């Protein structure tokens, strides 16, 4: 177990500087264009693939960093460049992690390369979990997967929503209900191969922010996939369902749900790091503007009203990063989140991003309200952090119930 430290080692600093350079030289110059186009920035993704950032190997290296700081460091730098483009680059990782965490060696070797494609022919993947009536309440999921034993196929029906890369993905990972009586323990994940009949893109959402990231519904109508596309395999699923049924009888449904909710804690610091990146970007623009913008014969940073805002912005950003780093280190060190530290980091960082970007717009005044300056886009992008991967309200609920010992429903 790595000791906790707030100092990056030389290798981490080198990786950080490399990612920052790509964000500054490639992502930022393209940010305004793809935000306006509201389209997937394929050329930028291809550039990321050519240099090795858009690849399973890159994310695996950061994920297995023994300090736990590899992922949050990478997320902060990419999202410092631009949230919409960065989400297009990292979105495939959600599906890849799903396969890595639950799949067999054969599934990992077969499907993850197809998610990324090659630098000359990049592909993307989609992780499909949320539904129109099942967002924060994952137990309300309705998409069903029924096993056809005679054909050794699973048949999927339902509608997924808010899917990053949904419909345009080469490979879709779909979470579906296999046993409704077990709540979230009755869910399983499935690989839907390219060009599978019955899967189609539904509504593509025109969003307030992160507009360079493709977000859409995914419609599943009698989608038939081979039995081998069940992540982990049928035998493992049957064993897990049997154990869940026994635990449900012994402990009641609430504890079954608690175990599922706890698994989300480990992924939330990464979203917190994204929020830190956006907040830091807006703060830096505001700081530079305040230093160079003169009114009444002096830079506006000489005014306490502006200077104190910048002081608060920097303090909050640093505090958010520390919460993210603590939770990330705890996760890799195997330390339990006894106070919902994962949710704390995501809650605080996402709220900081919204506040800091709003303050940046205010400091720039009329200029901040125009698209000539990036803080307007950053402010729109920051709104997503308090919504996805669990809303701020859900984070507060998780934290409060964890502290009180009450069940997390």
pLDDT of residue 252: 52
Q: Which tokens in the block code for residue 358?
A: 């709003």
Structure confidence at residue 136 (pLDDT): 66
Quick: pLDDT tens for 79-88.
999 999 999 9
Length of the chain: 409
Q: Determine the Cα–Cα distance for residues 267 and 325; give it in Å rounded to an integer.
A: 12
Percent of the chain whose predicted confidence (pLDDT) is above 90: 78
**Smallest Cα–Cα separation from 71: which of 385, 388, 324?**
324
Active site annotation includes 235: no
CA angle at 358 for the pair 354 and 364, rounded to the nearest 5°: 150
The 10 Å Cβ neighbour count of residue 210 is 29
Using alpha carbons, list the distances in angstroms from residue 51 to 18, 121, 150, 162, 392: 10, 14, 47, 29, 35
> Which secondary-structure segment (H or E) carries 10?
helix 10-22
Concatenated DSSP letters for 223-239? EEEEGGGBTT-HHHHHH
Q: Which of 77, 265, 341, 389 is catalytic?
A: 389
Structure tokens given for 219: 């419609």
| pLDDT beneath 70, residues of the chain | 1-2, 135-137, 139, 248, 250-266, 407-409
pLDDT score for 376? 98
Q: Which residues pair with 200 in a beta bridge?
A: 219
Confidence at residue 17, expressed as pLDDT on a 0 to 100 scale: 97
Q: Is 33 helix (H, G, I), strand (E, B) or coil?
A: helix
C-alpha of 174 from chain center: 16
Residues 6+ apart with CB under 8 A from 64: 70
| Of 247, 274, 212, the residue nearest 80 (C-alpha) | 274
Helix-strand-coil split of the chain, %, nearest 5:
60, 15, 25
What is the 3-class SS of 319-334, one letter each residue?
HHHHHHHHHHHHHHHC
Between CA 81 and CA 146 the distance in angstroms is 43
Containing H/E element for 282? helix 268-292
Note the pTM of the prediction, 2 decimals.
0.92
Tokens of 231: 């992540």
Burial class (CB in 10 A: 0-12, 13-18, 19+), 135: middle
34 φ, ψ (degrees, to nearest 5): -75, -25
- pLDDT of 342 reads 93
């Amino acid at each position: 177990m790595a000791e906790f430290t707030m100092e990056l080692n030389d290798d981490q600093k080198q990786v950080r500087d490399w990612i920052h350079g790509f964000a500054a030289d490639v992502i930022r110059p393209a940010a305004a264009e793809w935000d306006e186009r509201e389209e997937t920035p394929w050329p930028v993704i291809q550039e990321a693939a050519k240099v090795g950032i858009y690849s399973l190997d890159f994310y695996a290296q950061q994920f297995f960093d023994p300090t736990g700081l590899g992922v949050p460091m990478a997320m902060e730098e990419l999202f410092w460049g631009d949230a919409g483009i960065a989400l297009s680059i990292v979105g495939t990782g959600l599906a890849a992690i799903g396969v890595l965490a639950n799949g067999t060696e054969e599934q990992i070797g077969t499907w993850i390369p197809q998610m990324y494609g090659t630098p000359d022919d990049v592909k993307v993947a989609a992780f499909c979990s949320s539904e129109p009536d099942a967002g924060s309440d994952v137990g309300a999921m309705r998409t069903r997967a029924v096993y056809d034993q005679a054909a050794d196929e699973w048949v999927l029906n339902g509608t997924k929503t808010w899917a990053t890369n949904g419909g345009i993905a080469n490979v879709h990972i779909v979470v579906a209900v296999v046993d409704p009586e077990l709540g979230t323990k009755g869910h399983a994940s499935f690989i839907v191969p390219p060009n599978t009949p019955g899967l189609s893109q539904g509504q593509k959402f025109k969003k307030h922010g992160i507009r360079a990231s493709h977000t859409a519904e995914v419609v599943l109508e009698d989608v038939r996939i081979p039995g081998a596309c069940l992540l982990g395999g049928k035998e493992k699923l049957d064993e897990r369902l049997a154990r869940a049924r026994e635990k449900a009888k012994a402990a009641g449904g609430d504890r079954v749900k608690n175990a599922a909710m706890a698994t989300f804690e480990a992924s939330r610091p990464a979203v917190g790091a994204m929020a830190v990146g956006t907040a830091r970007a807006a703060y830096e623009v505001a700081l530079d503007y305040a230093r160079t913008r003169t009114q009444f014969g002096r830079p506006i940073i000489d005014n306490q009203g502006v200077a104190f805002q910048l002081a608060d912005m920097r303090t909050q950003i640093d505090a958010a990063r520390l919460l993210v780093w603590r939770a990330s280190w705890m996760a890799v060190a195997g330390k339990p989140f006894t106070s919902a530290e994962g949710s704390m980091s995501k809650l605080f960082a996402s709220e900081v991003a919204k506040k800091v970007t709003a303050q940046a717009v205010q400091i720039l005044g009329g200029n901040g309200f125009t698209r000539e300056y990036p803080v307007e886009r950053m402010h729109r992008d920051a709104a997503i952090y308090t919504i996805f991967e669990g809303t701020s309200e859900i984070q507060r609920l998780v934290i409060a119930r964890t502290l009180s010992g009450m069940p997390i429903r």
